[in-house]
Chains A and B, each alone.
Chain A
Amino acid sequence: MSILVNKDTRVVVQGLTGKEGMFHAEQMIAYGTNVVAGVTPGKGGQSVLGVPVFNTVAEAVKQTGANVSLVFVPAAFAADSACEAADAGVALVVVISEHIPVMDMIRAKAFLNERGVKMVGPNCPGIITPGECKIGIQPGYIHKPGTVGLVSRSGTLTYEVVHQLTSAGLGQSTCIGIGGDPIIGLNFVQLLELFRNDPGTEAVCLIGEIGGDAEERAAAVVAAGYPKPVFGFVAGLTAPPGKRMGHAGAIISGSKGRAQDKLAAMEAAGITVVRALGEFGATVAKTLK
């Protein structure tokens, strides 16, 4: 079992004909993902990697029954692409693009919310249900089917944790990179709720970082009663205030967004906090076995 995506998911890739889009779509197909369509305005009628290309997402959905879109277009056009996918009726839009202006995301998020369409990202590695469906840029081989759910605000940090879990013999139900921007789609709280109801998930890992209050909100959900063990890590414990640590959303402003406050909230909620990243996999393994 899993959440959001599985072997029946039908993916349309927006920006399939671009260099990055094509490279990662090829990797996704090799992993076993059903990539059923591509969209590049003006290139409708072509075929790339054996996948038909359409001018609009609406057309792609109509012709192929795609139900999840992957957005792989430059930042300036990404918000528009997400809205196009939502309007075409997909259930989930996964946005990989980074450096999307915040004002664009405010409008796009409201557009998606009105239509009840979920989003993962932007500025994220994507979502994967190991062994079934990979939508994004993750290295597929580090994952292994299993029962640990994982949600992370980062990219390579996620891979590090997944690798540790797999090396410790723990497979994953679904792993979601929710992105490092100030405004994102699905967040820790919403994903905790989805994992709560997924019989295939036995434990959840939350990989956070400085900035915002997503970790504190997640801790409140767990504190109110959560049926599965939750593990937490927060990057940036030693980050100086006022400096953007790579991600647009990873910044301590004033007294807000500090890692120590997030870790304290998590611990108070009963989340098992791991401070030394190198020990994450072993800690989860020890607790679950």
Chain B
Amino acid sequence: MNVHEYQAKELMAQFGVPVPKGGLAQTTEEAVDVARGLSGDVFVVKAQIHAGGRGKGGGVKVCRNLDEVKDAAASILGMHLVTHQTGPDGKLVHKVWVEEGTDIARELYVAVVLDRGAERLAVMASPSGGMDIEKVAEETPELIFSTRMEPGQPIWDFQCRQLLFGCGLDAGQVRQGTKMLQALVTMAMAKDATLVEINPLAITGEGKLIALDGKINFDDSALRRNPDIAELKDPTETDPLELQATELGLNYIRLDGNVGTMVNGAGLAMATMDVVNMAGARAANFLDVGGGANEEMIGKGFEIILTDPNVQAILINIFGGILRCDVLAGGVVSAAKKIDLRVPLVVRLEGTNVAEGRKILEESGLAFEVAASMSEAAAKVAAVLGGQK
């Protein structure tokens, strides 16, 4: 689960990481009020959406007075902010974060990340802050310093010193940075974060370290034991159909095609999406109704797929394992009869009792296309769509 910059900063501040003073605003008036309560004569107005590259897209503005804050907030609130991470339609900005401007002498990068290969947390730092860190890693790998945490051990001071002296900090800054890195690790472990990133981490003209941005990914599997984190979820950041699917207990991701897919199991669902796309059609979604699909889940799957107005055909691909194909076929027929199926349906069943299952589909009186293999299913979907044009 992702959170907004302002939420990340508030959480980091709770763990002792210095962040600029600021406040959240949903209207231009609120933005001006927040700025009026801050000290200094420079303010920064920042769009709050779950995407990087906000500055380049016009979502971050530095202001010299309250009028400029008002103008900045007016232009950012309600805009569809397009960045390299939002897709071409951008994301609607509902909130801005207004904070005190910082006198920046240098910009660093620091992060705590899950290192999958090493099976532990890693802590990274780079003197090349404020830039796309993947690019830095690719072009100047010598400017990325990293250290791995031993499971069950704290991050020791020496590890932080190695990273921070590596970045060229002086002794006083290294002391501040050590505290900060230890706070970030403590937070990651306490709140089950698999990524904590500060980019940039500023060193001010006075030599103080302060986090100018914050990005945190939380482990979805641990939200139950972190109810305070689960509460930070912003429903406006998720596709409404995906939200509805989550409530139905379905694993659904909306895509931009017109073939609805319904599959049991995530890996097979992904492979089915690939097969559809490679056959020249476009999948409208990824949908895993669970390894042990049943009539109820198939019914819910229909409900969610048909809510998407782009869907012009549906492909059901089910591998009947422990659950038999005849039972599954009965489920598909019964679920299809309960809804108004306005689009062609291709069903591919495989597994236990497959012959009985296909017979049930064929004798259902419903206009199913039955496919015997994945390749045939995709070809039939493409043919059905072609025939409509």
Q: Quick one: which of A262-277 are within 8 Å of B by CB?
A: 275-277
In the complex, whether A245 has a CB less than 8 A from a CB of chain B is yes
In the complex, whether A194 has a CB less than 8 A from a CB of chain B is no
Residues of A contacting B43 in the complex (Cβ-Cβ under 8 angstroms): none
In the complex, whether A287 has a CB less than 8 A from a CB of chain B is no
Q: Which residue of A lies closest to B323 (CB)?
A: A139
Checking A156, A213, A254 against B319 with a beta-carbon cut-off of 8 angstroms, the contacting residue is A156
Assess the A139–B322 pair: CB atoms within 8 A: yes
In the complex, whether B352 has a CB less than 8 A from a CB of chain A is yes
In the complex, whether B283 has a CB less than 8 A from a CB of chain A is yes
> How many chain-A residues does the 8 Å CB contact rule pick out?
61
In the complex, whether A154 has a CB less than 8 A from a CB of chain B is yes
Assess the B266–A110 pair: CB atoms within 8 A: no
Assess the A107–B151 pair: CB atoms within 8 A: yes
Residues of B contacting A180 in the complex (Cβ-Cβ under 8 angstroms): 266-267
Q: Which residue of A lies closest to B354 (CB)?
A: A163
CB distance from A219 to the nearest CB of B (A): 14
Assess the A76–B225 pair: CB atoms within 8 A: yes
Q: Known interface pairs A155-B265, A235-B270. Does A246 touch B221 (Cβ–Cβ under 8 Å)? A: no
Assess the A76–B270 pair: CB atoms within 8 A: no
Q: Which residue of A lies closest to B256 (CB)?
A: A240
In the complex, whether B192 has a CB less than 8 A from a CB of chain A is yes
Residues of A contacting B139 in the complex (Cβ-Cβ under 8 angstroms): none
Residues of B contacting A152 in the complex (Cβ-Cβ under 8 angstroms): 267
Assess the A249–B278 pair: CB atoms within 8 A: no
Residues of B contacting A245 in the complex (Cβ-Cβ under 8 angstroms): 253, 266, 269-270, 286
Assess the B120–A159 pair: CB atoms within 8 A: no
In the complex, whether A278 has a CB less than 8 A from a CB of chain B is yes
What are 11 contact pairs spanning A and B, CB under 8 A? A99-B220, A101-B219, A106-B121, A159-B321, A163-B350, A209-B270, A212-B117, A213-B116, A246-B266, A248-B219, A276-B278
Residues of B near any A CB (own CB < 8 A): 85, 114, 116-117, 119-121, 134, 151-152, 189, 192, 194, 219-222, 224-225, 251, 253, 255, 263-271, 273-275, 277-278, 283, 286, 288, 291, 319-322, 350-352, 373-376, 378
Residues of A near any B CB (own CB < 8 A): 27, 75-76, 99-103, 105-107, 109-110, 125, 137-139, 141-142, 152-160, 163, 180, 182-183, 207, 209-210, 212-213, 217, 233, 235-240, 242-250, 254-255, 275-279
